[in-house]
Amino acid sequence: MSEISKLVELRKLLLDMEDSMGLQELSPVERDIYYVASDHVGSAGTVKTTTLQDHALLANVSRPTFFRALKSLQGKGYLEHCKDSVRGYYTVKTPAK
Protein backbone atom coordinates (compact mmCIF):
# COMPACT_ATOMS: atom_id res chain seq x y z
CA MET A 1 0.00 0.00 0.00
CA SER A 2 1.44 3.37 -1.02
CA GLU A 3 1.85 6.26 1.40
CA ILE A 4 -0.92 8.25 -0.29
CA SER A 5 -3.26 5.25 -0.06
CA LYS A 6 -2.60 5.07 3.67
CA LEU A 7 -3.40 8.77 4.00
CA VAL A 8 -6.61 8.31 2.04
CA GLU A 9 -7.69 5.50 4.35
CA LEU A 10 -6.91 7.62 7.43
CA ARG A 11 -8.85 10.54 5.98
CA LYS A 12 -11.88 8.35 5.28
CA LEU A 13 -11.72 6.97 8.81
CA LEU A 14 -11.52 10.50 10.22
CA LEU A 15 -14.52 11.62 8.16
CA ASP A 16 -16.55 8.64 9.35
CA MET A 17 -15.66 9.36 12.98
CA GLU A 18 -16.47 13.06 12.62
CA ASP A 19 -19.80 12.16 11.06
CA SER A 20 -20.68 9.72 13.84
CA MET A 21 -19.88 12.41 16.43
CA GLY A 22 -21.85 15.10 14.61
CA LEU A 23 -18.80 17.20 13.82
CA GLN A 24 -19.51 17.39 10.07
CA GLU A 25 -21.65 20.50 10.66
CA LEU A 26 -18.55 22.41 11.79
CA SER A 27 -16.26 24.35 9.50
CA PRO A 28 -12.64 23.15 9.30
CA VAL A 29 -11.50 25.98 11.60
CA GLU A 30 -14.27 25.21 14.10
CA ARG A 31 -13.31 21.53 14.08
CA ASP A 32 -9.65 22.34 14.67
CA ILE A 33 -10.51 24.65 17.58
CA TYR A 34 -12.76 21.97 19.07
CA TYR A 35 -10.02 19.32 18.67
CA VAL A 36 -7.39 21.51 20.32
CA ALA A 37 -9.75 22.57 23.12
CA SER A 38 -10.69 18.94 23.80
CA ASP A 39 -7.04 17.93 23.87
CA HIS A 40 -5.88 20.76 26.15
CA VAL A 41 -8.58 20.91 28.80
CA GLY A 42 -6.84 21.47 32.10
CA SER A 43 -7.50 19.92 35.49
CA ALA A 44 -10.12 22.59 36.14
CA GLY A 45 -12.00 21.46 33.03
CA THR A 46 -11.22 24.64 31.13
CA VAL A 47 -8.98 25.76 28.29
CA LYS A 48 -7.54 29.23 27.78
CA THR A 49 -7.91 31.16 24.53
CA THR A 50 -4.17 31.76 24.23
CA THR A 51 -3.52 28.02 24.53
CA LEU A 52 -5.82 27.47 21.56
CA GLN A 53 -4.25 30.26 19.49
CA ASP A 54 -0.71 28.97 20.10
CA HIS A 55 -1.42 25.44 18.86
CA ALA A 56 0.10 24.24 15.56
CA LEU A 57 -3.32 23.27 14.12
CA LEU A 58 -4.38 26.91 14.39
CA ALA A 59 -1.12 28.60 13.43
CA ASN A 60 -2.41 29.78 10.03
CA VAL A 61 -5.81 30.98 11.25
CA SER A 62 -6.19 34.76 11.36
CA ARG A 63 -7.25 36.36 14.62
CA PRO A 64 -10.67 37.52 13.32
CA THR A 65 -11.42 34.07 11.86
CA PHE A 66 -10.36 32.42 15.11
CA PHE A 67 -12.69 34.56 17.22
CA ARG A 68 -15.60 34.17 14.77
CA ALA A 69 -15.20 30.40 14.92
CA LEU A 70 -14.91 30.50 18.73
CA LYS A 71 -18.16 32.46 18.96
CA SER A 72 -19.84 30.07 16.54
CA LEU A 73 -18.76 27.08 18.63
CA GLN A 74 -20.33 28.71 21.67
CA GLY A 75 -23.55 29.28 19.76
CA LYS A 76 -23.62 25.65 18.62
CA GLY A 77 -23.01 24.36 22.15
CA TYR A 78 -19.50 22.96 21.68
CA LEU A 79 -17.81 25.48 23.98
CA GLU A 80 -19.09 27.51 26.88
CA HIS A 81 -17.51 30.63 28.34
CA CYS A 82 -16.37 29.83 31.86
CA LYS A 83 -18.48 31.84 34.27
CA ASP A 84 -15.90 31.67 37.07
CA SER A 85 -13.12 33.42 35.15
CA VAL A 86 -12.59 36.99 34.10
CA ARG A 87 -12.31 36.11 30.42
CA GLY A 88 -10.53 33.86 28.00
CA TYR A 89 -11.45 30.50 29.55
CA TYR A 90 -13.82 27.99 28.00
CA THR A 91 -15.36 24.70 28.99
CA VAL A 92 -15.57 21.99 26.32
CA LYS A 93 -19.05 20.51 25.90
CA THR A 94 -20.31 17.44 24.10
CA PRO A 95 -23.40 18.70 22.28
CA ALA A 96 -26.42 16.50 21.74
CA LYS A 97 -26.72 15.19 18.19
Strand boundaries in 3-69, DSSP class E: 46-48
> Could you name the CATH architecture of 26-92?
Orthogonal Bundle (1.10)
Contact 35, 93 (CB under 8 A): no
pLDDT score at 96 = 67
- Helices then strands, counting H and E runs in the chain, come out as 4, 3
pLDDT tens-digit profile, the chain (97 residues)? 899 999 999 999 999 999 998 899 999 999 999 999 999 987 778 899 999 999 999 999 999 999 999 999 999 999 999 887 768 899 998 876 5
pLDDT confidence of residue 41: 87
